[in-house]
Structures are given as structure tokens and as C-alpha cells.
Amino acid sequence: MRPLSILRKSFADLSRQRRRWQDGIARNLRISSRMLDSLHPDLPPEVLAPKPTSLVETTDFGSNPGWLKMLHYAPESLKPGAPLVVVLHGCQQDATLYDQCSGWSRLARDHGFAVLYAEQQGGNNPNLCFNWFRPSNVTRDRGEVMSIRQMIARLEQDLAIDPARIFITGLSAGGAMTASMLSAYPELFQAAGIIAGLAHGAARDAHRAFYAMEHAPERTAREWGDLVREAAPAPARYPRVSIWQGLADRTVHPSNADALVAQWLDIHGLTDTKPRETRIESHRRLAYPGHDGRIAVELILLADFDHGVPLKPTRGGEKTGPFMLDAGISSTRRLAREWGVI
């Protein structure tokens, strides 16, 4: 046999062995999954047979003036009239990282709601921060806020989302953009979770953004509220707001949480309201009931917690990562419960 023929035969034999090896692994994995299911029928689905919750990108969702990427997850079991949770990542993150660590898509799979991620691109901001400090990107029907609004409209159409059950949350720059989305489109959202974010209007350029992160600008509650009222026509009602802040945050100073509370208490007409104080998982919670008796604004102060999303890592669920930190409390699950999506 010629040397070239021998070499080809060797490669063919190796390829067949590789395929048999891969098929064997796959077969063993399937058997192991069935055995685990039979031995532990009461274990939750995510432990027994994890299913992929990969985000799907949509490129055609409108004019996209902010040049953002749109990704979403919708479980196969999604029914018309399901809720939608919009999630905005922080700087030096992307949608996939945020989703894999926060567990939002896993909750969506298990409880039947959709998740939308807007993702920043390096051409807009080299640190992948949403440009919350640029007026052109946080003005109603312009820039990045308009792109996110168009993404929501696309999913409302494609998935028959319940327009009365749309929620939004974000970390850091994503938290600041969450505050701006609430200001630009207050009629769109039922409630929001702002994590280590900044008040709408805290800065108007990158230079002042760094100063605001170090310490929130000094403004009265009325002045903070006016920035929201000037952003959009007055809605029939404003969204409920949950504000999360680490007391050891070295990136966004806790004074920014105070500014957010002042801004949204003024918007809800609750400036003189005294909070109800409780403790949750060793952390301090200040809750401000609205005129209808429901909590309109809440502040959760996380003791000894730095800059990141508060998580409670569990097997098959949340996990730590860049700016995704173990706090002994899950902001993802708590927000989802408060919003009634789980």
C-alpha cells in the first residue's frame, strides 16, 4: 500500500473512533439523566435535565438609533399575555454573561415569561456601558432609550406580551439607563429594579458622570423629580421602583441611592412619607407605601457589599462572575416575586 493511502486510512480510522467515542458519551449522558430522574423524581427540573436557555438575537426591530443589540429568551411554553422582563447589563459585561449569572432566563423557562436584553456595542462605548450620561441617548424617542423601546415593541408583537406586565431592571450603567427608561417611557413599565444605579439626569456628559459616581449631585427632591417630569408627558401612573445599593460600593457611591429615592418619592408624591423598616437576610430594607397602600418605592441597603448584582448562588441557578456577587440574597428572585412573574 502506498504511504499516502496508509495515511488516509489512518485518518479515516481515527475519525470513526472519534465518532464512536462521542456517541458513547452522549448515550451515557442520556442514560445518566434518565437514571437520575427515576431515582430523584422530586428534584426540580433544572437539576434533573437542564435545558438550554440561549439568548436569540433579533437584528430587525426598527430604526435602532442607539445602535444596540437585541437578544431575548422565550420558553417554548410561553403563552399569549405573558409578562416581559427587560434587563440591562453593566459596564464590562454583556447580555450572555449577565443572563448566565443572574438566572433570569432560567426563571423565565420555569415560570413562563419572556426576557429581553439590550446589549451595548464597543463602537458606542469601549467599556460597554450604556450612555446614560448623554442627553441624546436618554431623551424620549431618541438614541439608546428609543432602541430599547423598539425592542420591546417587537416582542409585544411577536410574542403577544401583556402590555400591562412589562418590568425592567439593570446594574450600574444599566441601572442608570433603567432610571432613564422609566423617565422617558413611564407609561410602559409596571415596576423596576435599579441596582447600583444613578438617578435620571445625574450627569450630562462623561466628565460629570465620573463626579456623579463618586458622589451624587446636590439637588432637592423637587429638582430630582422635575428631571423625570420633564422627560415625558405625565402618565396615568408612575412605575414602582426598587432600589438596591451596596454600602461598600467603591464604584457608585451610596449617595446615588439617596438621590434615586428622593427622585422617585417626589414623583409619587411621597416626600414626607416615613418608611417602614425591616431586615431581609441581614440587610436593611426601607419601604415607602404609596397612596393605594402598595409599596411605591423601596430601598435595600446591602451591608458590606461592593459593586455588583446581589445574588444567592444555588445549584443549577445563579452563579458569581464579574460584578455578579454573592450577597446571601437574590435580587433576581426577589424582584421576580415582587412583580408577580414567579
Q: Give the residue numbers marked as catalytic.
A: 172
Q: How far is CA 234 from the centre of its chain?
A: 26
Do residues 88 and 174 lie in contact, with contact meaning Cβ atoms separated by under 8 Å? yes
Nearest Cα to Cα of residue 122 among 174, 67, 64: 67
**Burial profile 195-207: b = 16 or more Cβ within 10 angstroms, e = fewer:** bbbbbbbbbeeee
Q: Locate cell 425592542: which residue?
A: 151
**Burial profile 316-326: b = 16 or more Cβ within 10 angstroms, e = fewer:** ebbeebebbbe
Relative orientation angle of helices 173-184 and 221-229, to the nearest 10 degrees: 70
Nearest Cα to Cα of residue 139 among 267, 235, 231: 231
How distant, in Å, are the alpha carbons of 266, 282, 287, 303, 304 from that of 277?
Answer: 19, 12, 6, 15, 19
